[in-house]
């Protein structure tokens, strides 16, 4: 049976159970590391927030959460291990870098200018973190995280895509991507597949930020999974209302693509760096951006539209298993 790396060790893909495939227990935009004097990590607070989130989703029947936080955005596998140990929730962490506009680009760019084979260095990073573990933690990444910019995949970003395809051919690891507002989804899929990646082990993320049905069909026709994974995040970051997401999701299910769809929220449950004070109007907009919103509010809409329990089981259980090769 296919094996998946979790922060507590390997499990069979068939044991993932009900899964949220894209949530962040902690996240920080690159640069937060230099502001620790006024934005120091309170690890105990982050741990308690993480445990509370884990208990909330477990109460909805969730057994596994994938946390695809990129390496330079505050990925903390040891914290995830503590959350998993305390809560019993299975957590999968990632190896990978964010898109160029919000990434930490200087490191690999400077190495490229010095003549190093950066493509191969990224391959080695992915390979080591998947096969041996992240740093000295012994915790192995279970997915590769990729990302591209709005309306383009930059040359910088393509390095990570090429390396991911190569490592996936070696290891069978699952690839999860970030699209800016659902753009470049088909181009991401086509690039990975052209480099030899397996379409059945790829999910193109945040496609629910794109309301163009033609774009969705173009992505789905490549054979990859599509992420409706920002439920609750409305208006901000170019996001459409949930009602539009729900209509598109129901429509795609209705025309036969149910086996390629995955649901999540992309929540950030603990921000790294200084706390952000949100205006009341933003807090109102984000009121439903929390880790049980799908189960509290979206699933009832799907059920009202005639989506059955068996179909929900495909979305939350069978599709994540298939994504990991089961």
- Say which CATH number the domain at 258 has: 3.20.20.140
Contacts of 10 (CB under 8 A, 6+ apart): 3, 4, 140
Which residues does residue 65 pair with via DSSP β-bridges, in sequence order?
A: 20, 91
Residue 116 CA to residue 106 CA, distance in Å, equals 14
Q: Residues 190, 160: contact at Cβ < 8 Å?
A: no
Q: Do strands 143-147 and 90-96 pair parallel, antiparallel, or not at all (unpaired)?
A: parallel
Q: Residues 108, 119: contact at Cβ < 8 Å?
A: no
CB count, 10 Å around CB of 159?
Answer: 20
Contacts of 90 (CB under 8 A, 6+ apart): 6, 8, 11, 15, 16, 17, 63, 64, 65, 84
Residue 179: name the closest of 239, 251, 94 by CA.
239
- pTM here is 0.97
pLDDT at 276: 86
pLDDT at 196: 98
Residue 39 CA to residue 270 CA, distance in Å, equals 12
Copy the structure tokens of residue 297.
């509010």
Residue 271 CA to residue 194 CA, distance in Å, equals 36
> What is the extent of the structural domain holding 159?
3-323
Q: Do strands 9-12 and 19-20 pair parallel, antiparallel, or not at all (unpaired)?
A: unpaired
pLDDT at 315: 98
Copy the structure tokens of residue 280.
């009341």
Chain centroid to CA 137: 21
pLDDT at 1: 79
**What residues in the chain have per-residue pLDDT under 50?**
none
Q: Residues 131, 140: contact at Cβ < 8 Å?
A: yes
Determine the longest span between alpha carbons in the chain, in angstroms. 59
DSSP letter, residue 140? P
Q: Do strands 64-67 and 9-12 pair parallel, antiparallel, or not at all (unpaired)?
A: unpaired
Residue 118 CA to residue 313 CA, distance in Å, equals 42
Q: Residues 185, 152: contact at Cβ < 8 Å?
A: no
Per the structure, how many domains does the chain have? 1
Length of the chain: 326
């Amino acid at each position: 049976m296919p094996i998946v790396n979790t922060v507590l060790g390997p499990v069979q893909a068939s044991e993932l159970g009900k899964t949220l495939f894209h949530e962040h227990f902690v996240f920080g935009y690159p640069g937060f590391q230099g502001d620790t004097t006024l934005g120091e990590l309170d690890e105990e607070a982050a741990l308690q927030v993480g445990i509370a989130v884990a208990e909330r989703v477990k109460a909805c029947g969730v057994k596994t959460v994938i946390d695809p936080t990129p390496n330079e955005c505050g990925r903390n596998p040891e914290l995830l291990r503590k959350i998993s140990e305390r809560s019993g929730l299975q957590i999968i962490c990632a190896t990978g870098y964010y898109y160029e506009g919000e990434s930490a680009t200087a490191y690999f760019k400077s190495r490229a200018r010095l003549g190093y084979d950066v493509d191969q260095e990224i391959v080695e990073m992915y390979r080591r973190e998947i096969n041996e573990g992240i740093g000295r933690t012994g915790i192995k990444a279970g997915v590769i995280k990729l990302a591209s910019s709005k309306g383009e995949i930059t040359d910088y970003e393509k390095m990570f895509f090429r390396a991911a395809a190569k490592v996936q051919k070696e290891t069978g690891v699952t690839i999860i991507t970030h699209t800016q507002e659902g753009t470049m989804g088909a181009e991401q899929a086509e690039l990975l597949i052209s480099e030899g990646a397996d379409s059945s082990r790829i999910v193109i993320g945040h496609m629910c930020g794109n309301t163009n049905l033609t774009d969705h069909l173009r992505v789905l026709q490549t054979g990859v999974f599509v992420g409706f994974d920002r439920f609750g995040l409305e208006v901000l970051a170019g996001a459409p209302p949930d009602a539009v997401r729900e209509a598109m999701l129901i429509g795609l299910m209705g025309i036969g693509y149910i086996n390629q769809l995955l649901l999540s929220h992309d929540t950030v449950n603990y921000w790294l760096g200084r706390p952000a004070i949100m205006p009341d109007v933003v807090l109102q907009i984000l009121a439903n951006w929390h880790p049980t919103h799908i189960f509290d509010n979206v699933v009832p809409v799907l059920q009202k539209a005639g989506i059955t329990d068996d179909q929900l089981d495909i979305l939350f259980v069978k599709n994540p298993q298939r994504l990991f090769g089961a």
